[in-house]
Structure 1
């Protein structure tokens, strides 16, 4: 008599005569991996970081460095840009407070050629890969030096040079795109065995994991064995919706197991743990032709969702203050560095002062730059301008000429130039 199921949909499932439904309560919650505790102490000396130089760790810290001192949790650039939005000098902004360790730690383990899809709280990923302060500011002010020619909302960065796809506002669309890109890399590797192996890293929040795109992406990545590392930032809130109202299962990690994906949960406030987990996930993703990996990084969103949000309308201020005092990735790393004799109060003061000067300098320069030429609104959609676009461009020029007092085009490079005769693409 057969002792296990051989149906195509449930291979190696053992037969039983017990009529019992599986219940979540009978399974323990997935553990959370960490290297150091909230006091910056290495929990297991055998796991202490040994493959990272002190110089690299100092670079991480400066990339994450916070604002005006404890218990502030908002980074210097975030603080300045948040205030700029409130002053009307910027239309929109999103901060990364409380999640800096996830971005910096994971990005430090990726290779330059790896392809990245971000959501909108991965400023640290861009910083770690070499996105300059001027690049951030040019995008935020949508000026003529912006890589995207001022066509996108603020905080929607992108860089082909750094192999980071442009961020999209539409929630979760980057997840299936990442699975598809990883499948393309897999095919390329099969066609060219001498190609340097690379993966796709995809970032998203636990709120995005409620979208259908998440499930479709994980399923196709699993069935097609795509070399992609999915990195979920579980920060407790999807805008105003807490996790208790988002799902009843064991976080997002349990879903990876359901799709047959190797999965791990990590302390997102522990930059060493995040780096180590991502480094191992990258190695595993390239094994035997490729496979997907899911990382659930646990954190807490200290800041408001965006400048359009007041989080104290749906959560208690004392809750946020408690997290600020209790644990955050920047303070934890600073404590570790102080234990090692790598950092002190004087170095902290000097670093904060210099970073603030650098941010303000880039801010002032970007704010003065003119916007991209008006004709750029019509270019780059198709290889050649469509007839409809040519008509629209000419009509815009006519309206500007007819109502010069209604439309000030002096802030655009070249004014209305190029609207009558479409430029070469």
Structure 2
């Protein structure tokens, strides 16, 4: 396969290069490559990037295949330009034993892209019984998380951090004080008051984060703060990094691009956990990206059936289907407005997740596996949820006009989307 005439991302800039792929490897990278009898993809006027990495997705299989399957979720990811994703373990059953984890790995073979699997921190993602971290790592767990559930007991979290640090793995935390959460459904503030809905306070996130940062400092574990949403969280993580704590964090596209002011009615397409916060919080998250306090963008792709998302804030499920729209939204709303550079966005969506989670490099270099995407930055479109590959059509961005269209995704040397 020969990709010609594209502007190819190289560490922190773009160069006009051709790319020759044989098998699953990049074998030549040069300003001009001419070969015969090869499949040629003309990338004239387009950019070629290392495949995007999303360390936070929910593919729902097994147990909730009415929402998503590994096949549909991975196909949706490929459409979004992703070549590697990290699948959270809140499926049914939770892969918390060797047998269940191995069954999950077999199911994951249905993925059209590389699927890295999280193992849970505790049995069934609840309680205080820790999983066998070393065994799970040997079976293929790239990191550990109870996403969807917080680790409530501080002693349990301390022990988990110590054990995960011993095996040099990663702990991705769902940051939520369950006692403060108190059945909230929307940010505690003017919108919760306007709609008469139970609110989720900032302290629900920040109190748990404060505890975890103290424990992370004591244990030295790599602590990854999932989907941060508040200005205070950004400040705390900045301070922790300055203090030498081994902490990283992610932010979602929806928390960067929306705030509670965008919720005009009781529309649960805007219901996510953590909730959309204030305009000030949103600005702080963007500043955190610009400054480098926030390390990566992860979608927290959480597909649901339409029935589960059309019952108002009180009765609908949390979550947004976002993996197909992430790049185009971020490019349109952040890059085209000169909030961040295109190169910075690519690093946040590809380079940084790989470095932080010790994943195989998707850099477009000779000898590396061919994991990349091709994007037409000039192509404009309108987001249409009904045309999602994902089973989850739940998005607040339906009807939004965007620029930047993934035209092809190549994973392990194979075209998995477009062409």
Q: TM-score, normalised by structure 2?
A: 0.31
**Bigger helix share:** 1
Structure (1/2) with the larger strand percentage: 2
